A and B are shown apart, each in its own frame.
Chain A
Amino acid sequence: MITYLIKRIMWMIPMLIGISLISFFIMHLAPGDITSTEASFNPKASEESRQRLRETYNLDKPVMVQYGLWLKRIVQLDFGSSFASHQRPVLWQVKDKNGNISKGLIQEALPITLLINLFGIVIIFTISIILGTLSAVKKNTWVDKAITLFVFIGFAIPGFWLALLLMYWTGVNHQWLPISGLHSLNYQNLSMFSQLIDLLKHLVLPVFISSLSGLAGISLYVRNGMLEILNQDFITTARSKGLNEKKVIFIHALKNAILPLITIVGLSIPGLIGGSVIAESIFSIPGMGKLFYDSVLMRDFPVIMGILTIGSVLTLIGNLIADLGYAWADPRVRKGIIK
């Protein structure tokens, strides 16, 4: 187990180097010099800020040297500071000479996106295990067909369109739910408990939108997994021992069908993070997705590079946790019988 862990962590190093290379390559896709593109899209950029950009990225040096210097900075977690939002640091807070702390953009945005995605993952799991199992157990009945229809529509529906419709219906027409931001205007005056309720109400729509396609995918996955397992010998054995059907399904079959989901969660992390762009920008939620979108519109290069790198690192960490979780949950892997 320990050797596996060490191997698995060592493996992340070449991946991190690869990610940094791709991020760096993208920055050099811009026709000509990024200082000129930046200037042409953002007329407010002064000659001074262009000069700073050239210095930050050492644009006067050869490409390899530029990459080396950039890599050296990001290894120290220094992603520079944003152009668009008053020189705020991209990643983490810094103290200036007067002792004023300016918070990092990612530092503020990341917890929000993580919160939404954690909620999302919990919901995806609970509902898709229920739907998938139900669909498999009631195979070829109307229940199965209705769930399959839901899965196909969940795959095909554009999230931003559903978001618009829900905003209109629940927010504008009926005023059941707030449709933008994370807090109401009177948030400061509310009690602790009402603040929590207020936050949760603001999260309902964004969490629903960002988890819908995952919900569809994983329901289908659970259904197929269950169908396969229900045909296996040990299930027949359990049944012929005279166990009742509920015990067979919930104790014997479900346990085995859920196990691979740990890996699936790891694999779905980049999709969840990427998908946050649409949900967050529609509902004006100040998370990573909206920050990224705003930075793309402003051509705020340090922030774009920072989020791209941090987003990928998060994916790697998520995959690592999923792999370890799988190894831990499967007794065969845990005891070193299979790799």
Chain B
Amino acid sequence: MKKFISNTLAMAGLIIITSVLVAAITAPILSPYDPNFIDIESILMAPSYSHIMGTDGLGRDVFSRMLYGAQISLLVGFVAVGISTGIGILLGSIAGFYRGWIDSLIMRIVDLMLSIPSFFLILAVIAFLTPSIWNIMIVIGLTSWMGITRLVRAEFLSLRNREFVLASETMGSSDAKIILLHLLPNSMTPIIVSSVLGIASAVLVESGLSFLGLGVQAPTASWGNILTDGKEYIQFAWWLSLFPGLAILLTVLGYNLLGEGLRDILDPKNKQ
């Protein structure tokens, strides 16, 4: 814990992520307007006391929409990474523990998935299903588990023949017990770091998809689709582009800083 506080990077990341979390949770209380309330009389108003981030092309309050957008960003990040980490741990454990043909098979599937441009894959799946927040989370999760699989497998391979694992095996522990009790807990550091970094890229992908109109669908507010409006009105309404872009930048930066900071802190090699 002390190490955490003294690590500026990790602290900066944590502060950013906590602010996003607070914004998302308190959105119903903090937001001055209904995020979807259309007010024809106050279209494209510049930031002022009554609308601190201005209003969009339909007169909706941008600040309120930004707060609700934080909810979407968190939800997508955590669910997508939950899915990819789950798959990665499962497949990586099987490959690293049992080795042999099942390992080769899983690793070839990983190679295969890595050779398909993932943004194309995601767009193609969205084209055949329909764009919705649930489909997006699932698709992002299902196309980003390869890194974690490789990591878990590599950790397992290096731990597999260590004495404490062999001892547990000799004592007749079941495979599941060895994996869950000995191998996984000792592989947690890289899993946590890469999950946090994974959230950052999931947030970026979601905002990109929403920006292209293939992500979170109107009227639900997401930072990406506020930017779509921003593009439309870029000549007259800078606030529509500035705030959501900054929010995405800071959030992604926050996860990256936290991830890199955790890597330094949890790495036993940096014990000085």
A→B interface (CB under 8 Å): 14-15, 18-19, 22-23, 26-27, 29-31, 34, 37, 152-153, 155-162, 164-165, 167-168, 172, 267, 270-271, 273-275, 277-278, 281-282, 292-293, 295-297, 299, 304, 307-308, 311-312, 315-316, 319
Contact, CB under 8 Å: A26 / B125: yes
Of chain A, the residue at the smallest CB distance from B213 is A297
Does chain A have a CB within 8 A of B115? yes
Contact, CB under 8 Å: A19 / B119: no
Residue in contact with A315 in the complex, picked from B108, B116, B123, B200, CB distance below 8 Å:
B116
Give chain A residues whose Cβ lies under 8 Å from the Cβ of B113: 22
Contact, CB under 8 Å: B128 / A30: yes
Give chain A residues whose Cβ lies under 8 Å from the Cβ of B211: 158, 160, 278
Count how many pairs of residues, one from A and one from B, have CB atoms less than 8 Å apart in the complex.
139
A270–B121 alpha-carbon span in the complex (Å): 10
Give chain A residues whose Cβ lies under 8 Å from the Cβ of B213: 297
Q: Closest Cβ of chain B: how far from A149's Cβ, in Å?
A: 10
Does chain A have a CB within 8 A of B176? no
Those of B104-137 within 8 Å (CB) of chain A: 108-109, 111-121, 123-129
Contact, CB under 8 Å: A277 / B212: yes
The winner among A19, A30, A158, A160 for most chain B CB atoms within 10 A is A158
Q: Closest Cβ of chain B: how far from A255's Cβ, in Å?
A: 28
Does chain A have a CB within 8 A of B3? no
Residue in contact with B124 in the complex, picked from A14, A34, A304, CB distance below 8 Å:
A304
Contact, CB under 8 Å: B200 / A156: yes
5 A-B pairs whose Cβ atoms sit less than 8 Å apart in the complex: A29-B125, A155-B200, A270-B116, A273-B117, A296-B126
7 further A-B pairs in the complex, CB-CB below 8 A; given A158-B207, A296-B214: A18-B109, A29-B125, A30-B128, A156-B200, A161-B249, A274-B118, A277-B120
Residue in contact with B116 in the complex, picked from A19, A29, A164, A167, CB distance below 8 Å:
A19
Binds A, one of B45-53, B83-91, B149-157, B228-236: B228-236
Contact, CB under 8 Å: A161 / B128: no
Give chain A residues whose Cβ lies under 8 Å from the Cβ of B118: 270-271, 274
A307–B124 alpha-carbon span in the complex (Å): 10
Contact, CB under 8 Å: B253 / A156: yes
Residue in contact with A319 in the complex, picked from B115, B214, B241, B249, CB distance below 8 Å:
B115
Give chain A residues whose Cβ lies under 8 Å from the Cβ of B117: 270-271, 273-274, 311-312, 315
Given known A-B contacts A152-B256, A308-B120, A15 and B115 have beta carbons under 8 A apart: yes
Contact, CB under 8 Å: B123 / A296: yes
Q: Closest Cβ of chain A: how far from B6's Cβ, in Å?
A: 17
Give chain B residues whose Cβ lies under 8 Å from the Cβ of A14: 108
Residue in contact with A270 in the complex, picked from B115, B123, B128, B200, CB distance below 8 Å:
B115
Given known A-B contacts A277-B212, A315-B115, A292 and B120 have beta carbons under 8 A apart: yes
A329–B36 alpha-carbon span in the complex (Å): 59
A7–B124 alpha-carbon span in the complex (Å): 32
A287–B171 alpha-carbon span in the complex (Å): 61
Contact, CB under 8 Å: B245 / A26: no
Contact, CB under 8 Å: B128 / A27: yes
Give chain B residues whose Cβ lies under 8 Å from the Cβ of A19: 112, 115-116
Give chain B residues whose Cβ lies under 8 Å from the Cβ of A271: 117-119
Give chain B residues whose Cβ lies under 8 Å from the Cβ of A162: 245
Does chain A have a CB within 8 A of B21? no
Given known A-B contacts A273-B120, A311-B120, A155 and B212 have beta carbons under 8 A apart: no
Contact, CB under 8 Å: A308 / B115: no
Does chain A have a CB within 8 A of B252? yes
Contact with A along B199-238 (1 / 0, CB 8 A): 0100010011001111000000000000100110011001
Of chain A, the residue at the smallest CB distance from B197 is A155
A19–B124 alpha-carbon span in the complex (Å): 14
Query: Which 9 residue pairs of A and B lie closest in terms of their CB atoms, listed nearest first?
Result: A274-B119, A161-B245, A274-B117, A156-B252, A156-B253, A270-B117, A296-B127, A30-B128, A18-B112
Give chain A residues whose Cβ lies under 8 Å from the Cβ of B227: 158, 160-161, 164
Contact, CB under 8 Å: A155 / B115: no
